[in-house]
Structure 1
Amino acid sequence: MEFEQGNNRFYKEKDGKLIAEVTYVPQGDSVAIDHTFVDPSLRGQGIAEQLVDRVVEEMQKEQKKVVAVCPYVVELFKRKPDKYQHIIANP
């Protein structure tokens, strides 16, 4: 899925309705992912992980680390340490 980039967020809208979003807060040389949202009609399709991956991709370009604040992201980083260990910053 392709996402739009906004002010400290990536998101997807359909028919003017927000259906997926991840937000992050800049913190110097890192960002804190503080919120993910996926419309119930899209859950179970890996959309939330795609959103997190989009933030990770952008932060790699900017040479920044990521702090997981959102409970979903905390669990995702724990479940897939090999995928994310290179980008995780200590809170």
Structure 2
Amino acid sequence: METIKLELDEKKHGNFNLYADGKKQGEMTVSLKDDLLTVYHTGVEPEAEGKGYAKKLLEEMVSYAHKHKMMVKALCPYVHAQFTRHPDEYQDIWKK
């Protein structure tokens, strides 16, 4: 079973970290400022690739943005690609 935790420092920089079987398997690096959530990078450990972890991190980040009424600046190539491929799904939170 996977667990995703948002872990931030005092400057509100950090990661959505995905843990599986007690081990960190993926992360999405973000920063929060006012009503803007900036995504810099999404990565999954090589042994965990192909399990849909990047998509789960994306879903968790999008859920967080909706819940906290934030816009998302997608500097991460993965997130930007998903937003570009599915604009209708993300138009309400995508800060282009």
What's the TM-score bracket when you normalise by the shorter of the two chains? 0.7 to 0.9
Distance 1:74 1:18 in 2: 23
- The answer to whether residue 51 in structure 2 is matched with residue 45 in structure 1 is yes
Aligned length: 90
Unaligned runs of 5+ in 1: none
Distance 1:78 1:17 in 2: 31
Unaligned runs of 5+ in 2: 9-13
Runs ≥4 residues deviating over 3 A: 13-17
Identity of aligned residues (%): 33
Out of 51-60 and 13-22, give the one that drifted further.
13-22
TM-score (norm 2): 0.79
Seen in structure 2, the aligned counterparts of structure 1 residues 15 and 61 have a Cα distance that, compared at 3 Å, is closer
2:3 partner SS:
coil
C-alpha root-mean-square deviation of aligned residues, in Å? 1.8
